[in-house]
Amino acid sequence: MRNKGSLRTEEPILDGKLSCDYLVLGGGTAGAVVAARLAEETEAEVVLVEAGPSDEGDWRVLELWNWPNLLGTDFDYDYTIEPQERGNSLIRHSRGKVLGGCSSHNSAIAFRAPDYDLEVWERSGAAGWGPEGTRPYYDRVFDRVHVETIPPDNTCTAAFVEAAVQAGYPLIRFNEEELREGVGWLQINARAGIRQSSSVAYLHPLGRLPNLTVLTETRVLRVLLDGGGEAVGAETSRGTIRARGEVILCCGAFDSPKLLMLSGIGPEEHLREAGVPCRVDLPGVGEHLLDHPEGVVIWEASRPIPPISRQGWEAALFARVDPASEVPDLMFHFGTSAFDINTSQLGYPSAEHAFSLTPNVMRARSEGFVRLRSSDPAAPPVIDFRYFTDPDGYDDWIMTEGVKLARRIAEQPALRPWVRRELAPGPNVRDDGQVSEYARRSANTVYHPAGTCRMGAPDDPAAVVDPQLRVRGVGRLRVADASVFPTMIGTNPCITCMMIGEKCADLVLGADAGTLQPRELAR
């Protein structure tokens, strides 16, 4: 390898080829962790490939408060979705196109996944991914990534927290106790207003690891397989990169299945239709697309909203709507602005001073899919979430109840003085049918796509990767990102994606989490 540890932004690979021991494709939330850990724990040569630019020294990315201004820019893939039968077809799915991926592009809300969800993972065939098997890796993330609890400085947000308590929800300390019904101030992976993305926490300063080469602004076109069906490298926009060891795909719930399919790994009939020769018929690639569909209720404030805020969304409420559920099934984020990205397109009014509650379905049952648009790597994938199409109407019901609960919270004595009027859906939308229609038509996403390379037992024909994250039917190829989620978790998934990166590195190296000892990190 030449120029070890260098950051390349425009420089071509002059000889057209580069070789390494481990090739990590995608420098996002999980990929940055995988690459850094492999380079720290071994003397192996590691190459990390990222399509976007570096975030180092770029305050547009590092300043957490600026995150909404990154949406729809060159830092964003800004994917559109297919027309939705029952949901909002205008949703645009932002995906970070920058080193650190969506952890460089989000509001930095930091949660461990609830034990309940990890137990479901393990029962569904993801052996070793239950609470005990993942806890050491969450601990590593929290040791490495600075996480802090937002102080209760914003008086409007504090009024919401008090109103939720008045409505019967106890105060809880997120990540310090097991998730249950309640309200609390969020934890964020930030330090003094500067985001602590996977890139910041694991890669900066770039060049600190002499055996890690980071290639930015380099698109991956396809994974290369040899005649025996083993991954041997990747074709990129700046030449071929060969891997002597393993290739780890970390491109997220849209682009990891897309790259597998472009490489001939996926549903055979679809690959044939897209003009891609099928190397491995793997029907589960691109299936099982999950998300947290999100509604919104917006109120104009009776007074100016205090500008004191880390990122505009500082508190959350977890509630249980279904009496048969063991755990909360509805999550709210509270925002100190008019979250009118979709309501304004439908003609609803907005206001300069406003606040919003966003009920979202923690474990939505509707599933969609990702497909190739063509065999052209530059073509965006076909993305169809099929929002609110689960046969029992569960997602619709949870969302409708969420809008009603949001209104009850706003009527509590602590928050009521802040309300001038309800902007969306407005006072004329009252019965369940009207609320459902509004919630689905104006729905947004919490930008949490997952599940399209689902992890499962080695003999599960619907699974794409096994519990070691190895792609079924392909040698020396793993996937490590939100696409491997067996089921949706109930909280924001960023920290869980970092946890997957931590565990993936150990799986590649054959380490045993049961014998983990604290390690001195190269910084």
Express each pLDDT in 419-433 by its tens digit. Answer: 999 999 999 999 999
C-alpha–C-alpha distance, residues 274 and 519, integer Å: 47
pLDDT at residue 520 is higher than 90: no
Task: Supply the pLDDT for residue 511.
Answer: 76
pLDDT tens profile 329-357 = 999 999 999 999 999 999 999 999 999 99
pLDDT tens profile 23-49 = 999 999 999 999 999 999 999 999 999
C-alpha–C-alpha distance, residues 118 and 488, integer Å: 10
Q: Binning pLDDT at 50, 70 and 90, where does residue 11 land?
A: low
The sign of the torsion formed by the CA atoms of 25, 28, 29, 35 equals: positive
Task: Supply the pLDDT for residue 147.
Answer: 98
Query: Is 98 marked as binding a ligand?
Result: yes
Q: What is the CA radius of gyration of the chain?
A: 22
Phi, psi of 271 (to 5 degrees): -60, -40
- Per the listing, tokens 């969420």 go with 402
pTM of the predicted structure, to 2 decimals? 0.95
pLDDT tens profile 383-400 = 999 999 999 999 999 999
282 in Cβ contact with 473 (< 8 Å): yes
pLDDT tens profile 93-105 = 999 999 999 999 9
pLDDT tens profile 273-332 = 999 999 999 999 999 999 999 999 999 999 999 998 999 999 999 999 999 999 999 999
pLDDT at residue 14 is higher than 70: no
Task: Supply the pLDDT for residue 514.
Answer: 38
State the CATH class of domain 152-192+293-367+384-445.
alpha beta
C-alpha–C-alpha distance, residues 201 and 4, integer Å: 20
Task: Detail the DSSP E strand segments found in 320-389.
Answer: 330-335, 354-361, 369-371, 382-384
Q: Binning pLDDT at 50, 70 and 90, where does residue 234 land?
A: very high
Mark out the alpha helices in 411-481 (DSSP H runs).
432-441
Tokens read off for 267: 């549903």
Across residues 124-137, what is the average pLDDT? 98
Tokens read off for 380: 């965006």
Amino acid found at 366: S
75 in Cβ contact with 28 (< 8 Å): no
- The β-bridge partners of 20 are 243
Across residues 192-197, what is the average pLDDT? 96
Task: Supply the pLDDT for residue 319.
Answer: 98
Q: What is the DSSP string of 376-404?
A: -TTSPPEEE--TT--TT-HHHHHHHHHHH
Across residues 123-135, what is the average pLDDT? 98
Tokens read off for 405: 């609960």
CATH of 7-60+94-145+198-289+450-514, one of 3.50.50.60, 3.40.50.300, 3.30.420.40, 3.40.1160.10: 3.50.50.60
Q: Binning pLDDT at 50, 70 and 90, where does residue 12 land?
A: low
What 8-state DSSP symbol labels residue 102? G
Query: Is 145 marked as binding a ligand?
Result: no
Active centre residues (catalytic)? 448
Tokens read off for 261: 């399919």
Q: Binning pLDDT at 50, 70 and 90, where does residue 3 land?
A: very low
For the chain, which residues make up each domain, given as ranges? 7-60+94-145+198-289+450-514, 152-192+293-367+384-445
CB atoms within 10 A of CB 391: 7
Task: Supply the pLDDT for residue 408.
Answer: 98
pLDDT tens profile 464-518 = 999 999 999 999 999 999 999 999 999 999 999 999 999 999 999 997 543 333 3
The average confidence (pLDDT) of the chain is 94
pLDDT tens profile 357-375 = 999 999 999 999 999 999 9
* Helix and strand totals (H; E) in the chain: 11, 26
